C-alpha cells in the first residue's frame, strides 16, 4: 500500500481490520487527481462570475454540466456556439469561466475530458480521461467528502440533495455511473466503501451514510479534506454544495 493511501491513525474506523484490499478504487486517486489541478490555472474573464447571484451561477453550471454529459452519452460533438445558444443564451459573457469550471468538475468527478478538436470553430468532444484512475473514483471521493461535511453520519436526504444540484439524481440513469441509488446504497456498501444504515428509533424510517471500513483502509479523512481544499482553490464554483 502506498504512503498516500495509508489511513490516519486517529481517524481509522475502529470496526475495520479487513487486511489487504484487492483492486483499490481509492488508492492514490486523491493524489493523482490533485496533481491534475495544476493544469487548470484560474480562469480570467472580463465578466467575473462572482458578480452573479449564487442561485443563477449554480443553475448555469448545473445546466451546462447536464448538457455536456448528455453529449458524452450520445457520443456527439458540441461547439461553443451550441452551448451558448442552448444553455447560456442569456449569460454569454460568463461562458469562459463557467465552461472552465464545468470542465474541471467533469474530469475530477466523472473522469470525462472536454477536448477541443477544431480551434477555429471551437468544437469539442467528450471522452474518458487517460491516467486519472477509474471514473467512479473521483465521484466516490466527492461522496466521502460530503459525508464528512454533513457530519459522518450524514443524513441521506442531505447527500441526495447535494448530488441532485450536480445533476446526479435518484431514479435517473447516469451516463457514467448508472443508477446512483444502487451505486451508493448497494454497490459501494457491498464493496465496503460506504455504510448505509437506518437512523436508530426513527419512525418513519430515515437513513444515513457513513464512511465504510474499506474507505479508511485506502485513504483518510485528512487526505480527502486536503484534496477537496485544493479543488476548492481551482473550481469552487463547480461544487455548489460546498459553497451553499
Q: Are residues 158 and 216 in the same domain?
A: yes
- Using one digit for the tens of pLDDT, what is the confidence trace for 119-131? 999 999 998 776 4
pLDDT digits (tens, 9 = 90+) for 99-144: 888 887 787 777 788 999 999 999 999 987 764 444 577 788 889 9
Residue 237 confidence class, pLDDT cut points 50, 70, 90: low
Q: Which domain holds residue 192?
A: 135-231
On whether both 226 and 145 belong to a single domain, the answer is yes
Q: Looking at residue 62, what is its pLDDT?
A: 79
Residue 118 in any domain: the answer is yes
Looking at residue 51, its pLDDT comes to 66
CATH code at 87?
Answer: 1.10.10.1200
Mean pLDDT of the chain: 74
Report if residue 116 sits inside a domain. Answer: yes
Strand ranges, E, within 18-163: 78-79, 112-118, 123-128, 154-155
Give the residue, 26 or 13, on which the prediction is more confident.
26
State whether 124 and 196 are in the same domain. Answer: no
Domain tally, the chain: 2
What's the CA gap between 191 and 204, in Å, rounded? 28
Q: What pLDDT score was predicted for residue 20?
A: 33
DSSP 8-state class, residue 186? I
pTM: 0.62
Pairing of strands 78-79, 123-128: antiparallel
191 domain-assigned: yes
Amino acid at each position: 500500500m502506498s504512503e498516500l493511501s495509508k489511513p490516519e491513525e486517529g481517524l481509522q474506523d475502529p470496526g475495520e481490520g479487513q487486511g489487504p484490499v484487492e483492486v483499490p478504487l481509492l488508492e492514490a486517486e486523491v493524489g493523482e487527481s490533485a496533481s491534475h489541478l495544476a493544469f487548470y490555472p484560474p480562469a480570467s474573464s472580463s465578466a467575473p462570475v462572482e458578480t452573479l447571484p449564487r442561485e443563477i451561477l449554480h443553475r448555469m453550471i448545473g445546466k451546462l454540466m447536464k448538457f455536456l454529459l448528455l453529449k458524452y452519452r450520445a457520443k456527439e460533438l458540441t461547439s461553443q456556439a451550441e452551448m451558448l445558444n442552448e444553455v447560456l443564451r442569456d449569460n454569454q459573457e460568463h461562458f469562459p469561466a463557467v465552461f472552465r469550471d464545468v470542465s474541471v468538475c467533469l474530469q475530477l468527478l466523472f473522469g470525462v475530458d472536454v477536448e477541443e478538436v477544431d480551434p477555429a470553430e471551437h468544437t469539442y468532444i467528450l471522452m474518458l480521461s487517460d491516467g486519472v484512475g477509474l471514473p467512479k473514483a473521483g465521484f466516490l471521493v466527492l461522496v466521502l467528502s460530503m459525508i464528512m461535511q454533513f457530519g459522518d453520519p450524514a443524513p441521506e436526504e442531505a447527500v441526495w440533495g447535494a448530488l441532485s444540484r450536480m445533476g446526479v439524481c435518484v431514479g435517473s440513469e447516469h451516463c457514467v455511473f448508472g443508477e446512483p441509488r444502487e451505486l451508493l446504497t448497494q454497490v459501494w456498501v457491498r464493496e465496503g466503501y460506504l455504510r448505509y444504515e437506518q437512523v436508530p428509533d426513527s419512525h418513519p424510517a430515515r437513513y444515513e451514510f457513513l464512511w465504510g471500513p474499506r474507505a479508511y483502509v485506502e485513504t483518510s479523512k485528512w487526505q480527502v479534506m486536503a484534496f477537496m481544499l485544493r479543488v476548492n482553490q481551482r473550481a469552487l464554483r463547480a461544487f455548489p454544495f460546498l459553497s451553499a
